[in-house]
C-alpha cells in the first residue's frame, strides 16, 4: 500500500476535519466515552468542569472538555456496527495519520475507548436497571470479514462455534474481547458477561412483531452458549480496537430482560446512575 492516502480514501472536509465525525486532531482527548444516543452526550458532558469543543455532523455529536482537570471526550456513534466502522477508522485517523500530508505517523497513539450504552439481557437472572460489563463479544454483523489480518479464533470462539447450530449465520461471526486493563476499572460492576452484537434490533435479536424471527428458541440457544446480553456496537468496537491498537471496554445498562419480557420502568434514572458510575471510575 502507498503511504500517501488519496483524497477519495481519507476523505476530509474543507476545514481539514475528518469527513463524518467533522473533527480535527485537537478536538479529541485520548480518553473517549462512546454512547449510541446523541442525546446522551450532553447528559455526560454536563458533569465536565468545562466543555471546550462541541461539534456534530449527522448522528455524530462530540463534546470535549475537562473533568477533575483531565481532558475527556464524549461522542455519539448512533446505532450499529456500520457506524462504528466509521467512528473507529476516523478516530484512529485523527491520532495516527498526519491529515495534512495524508501519511501514516511513525509513532502510534493508543486511545482509551469506553462504550456506555444500553442492552437487553438473555439470561433470565440478569435484572434490568443494572450494569453489565462485556468481557467477550461475538459479532453477528459480519463487519470484520471485510478486513485482512483479523484473528478470528480465541478461547471463547472455539467453544461457541462448536455448539452454534445456525449454519447459515456461522460464516459471518467474529469474536473479540475487552481490554483487560480498562476492564479492571469496572471490576465492581454488578454483572460481567459475554455479549452478542447484532445488525438489527428486531429479528436479529429474536424480536417478532409482524415478522417471524429465525427460531423461537434463539434467545435460549444463545444463553445456553454463555451469551448474557444483546446490543448493536461492541463487537466492532472491540475487534477494530484490537486491529488498530486501541483499548476498549463496554458497560451497558440492562434495560430489557428478554426472557422475562420486562423493560425498565425508569431507564432515565438508571442511565444517570450509569453515567455517574463510569465517570467516577475512568477519571483519576
233 counts as binding ligand R1P under rule CB under 6 A: yes
What is d(CA 196, CA 110) in angstroms, rounded to the nearest whole number? 25
Q: Specify the stretch interacting with ligand R1P by CB under 6 A; choose among 52-60, 146-154, 155-163, 231-239.
A: 231-239
118 counts as binding ligand URA under rule CB under 6 A: yes
| DSSP secondary structure of 86-138 | HHHHHHHHHHHEETTTTEE-SS----EEEEEEEEEE-STTS-TTSEEEEEEEE
Q: State which of positions 231-250 bind ligand URA (CB under 6 A).
A: 231-232
Of ligand URA, ligand R1P, none, which one sits near residue 233, judging by CB under 5 to 8 A according to partner kind? ligand R1P
Shortest distance in whole angstroms from residue 12 CB to ligand R1P: 27
232 counts as binding ligand R1P under rule CB under 6 A: yes
201 counts as binding ligand R1P under rule CB under 6 A: yes
What is d(CA 131, CA 190) in angstroms, rounded to the nearest whole number? 6
> Which CB atom, from 49 or from 215, has the smaller least distance to ligand URA?
215
Q: Specify the stretch interacting with ligand R1P by CB under 6 A; choose among 143-151, 161-169, 213-221, 228-236.
A: 228-236
One of 5, 35, 84, 236 touching ligand R1P (CB under 6 A): 35
Shortest distance in whole angstroms from residue 269 CB to ligand URA: 16
Alpha helices in the chain (DSSP H): 38-45, 81-96, 155-163, 180-184, 218-224, 234-244, 267-282
Nearest to 166 by CA among 236, 225, 232, 237: 225
One of 45, 96, 118, 195 touching ligand R1P (CB under 6 A): 118
Binding string, 248-267, against ligand URA, x = CB under 6 A? -------xx-----------
∠ CA(33), CA(34), CA(36), 5° rounding? 145
β-strand partners of 72: 65
The span from the first CA to the last CA of the chain, in angstroms, equals: 40
218 counts as binding ligand URA under rule CB under 6 A: no
What is d(CA 241, CA 252) in angstroms, rounded to the nearest whole number? 18
195 counts as binding ligand R1P under rule CB under 6 A: no
Nearest to 253 by CA among 276, 225, 274: 274
Contact 97, 216 (CB under 8 A): no
> Which CB atom, from 147 or from 263, has the smaller least distance to ligand URA?
263
Of ligand URA, ligand R1P, none, which one sits near residue 79, judging by CB under 5 to 8 A according to partner kind? ligand R1P
Beta pairing class for 103-104 and 229-231: unpaired
Binding string, 176-215, against ligand URA, x = CB under 6 A? -------------------------x---x----------
Percent of residues in the chain assigned helix, strand, coil, to nearest 5: 30, 30, 40
Could you list the residues that contact ligand URA (CB under 6 A)? Answer: 118-120, 201, 205, 230-232, 255-256
Chain residues binding ligand R1P by CB under 6 A are 35-37, 79, 117-118, 201, 231-233
Amino acid at each position: 500500500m502507498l503511504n500517501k492516502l488519496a483524497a477519495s480514501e481519507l476523505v476530509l472536509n474543507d476545514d481539514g476535519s475528518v469527513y463524518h465525525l467533522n473533527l480535527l486532531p485537537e478536538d479529541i482527548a485520548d480518553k473517549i466515552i462512546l454512547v449510541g444516543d446523541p442525546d446522551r452526550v450532553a447528559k455526560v458532558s454536563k458533569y465536565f468542569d468545562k466543555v471546550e469543543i462541541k461539534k456534530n455532523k449527522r448522528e455524530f455529536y462530540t463534546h470535549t472538555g475537562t473533568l477533575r482537570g483531565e481532558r475527556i471526550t464524549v461522542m455519539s456513534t448512533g446505532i450499529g456496527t456500520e457506524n462504528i466502522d466509521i467512528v473507529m477508522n476516523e478516530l484512529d485517523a485523527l491520532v495516527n495519520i498526519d491529515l495534512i500530508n495524508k501519511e501514516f505517523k511513525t509513532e502510534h497513539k493508543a486511545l482509551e475507548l469506553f462504550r456506555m450504552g444500553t442492552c437487553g439481557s438473555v439470561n433470565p437472572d440478569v435484572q434490568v436497571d443494572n450494569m453489565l460489563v462485556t468481557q467477550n463479544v461475538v459479532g453477528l454483523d459480519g463487519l470484520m470479514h471485510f478486513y485482512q489480518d483479523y484473528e478470528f479464533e480465541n478461547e471463547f470462539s472455539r467453544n461457541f462455534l462448536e455448539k452454534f447450530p445456525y449454519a447459515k449465520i456461522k460464516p459471518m461471526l467474529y469474536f473479540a474481547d475487552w481490554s483487560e486493563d480498562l476492564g479492571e476499572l469496572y471490576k465492581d460492576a454488578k454483572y460481567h458477561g459475554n455479549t452478542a452484537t447484532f445488525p438489527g434490533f428486531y429479528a436479529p435479536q429474536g424480536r417478532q412483531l409482524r415478522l417471524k424471527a429465525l427460531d423461537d428458541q434463539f434467545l435460549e440457544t444463545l444463553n445456553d452458549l454463555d451469551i448474557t446480553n444483546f446490543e448493536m456496537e461492541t463487537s466492532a468496537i472491540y475487534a477494530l480496537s484490537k486491529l488498530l491498537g486501541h483499548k476498549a471496554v463496554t458497560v451497558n445498562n440492562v434495560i430489557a430482560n428478554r426472557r422475562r419480557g420486562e423493560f425498565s420502568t425508569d431507564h432515565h434514572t438508571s442511565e444517570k446512575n450509569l453515567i455517574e458510575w463510569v465517570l467516577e471510575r475512568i477519571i483519576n
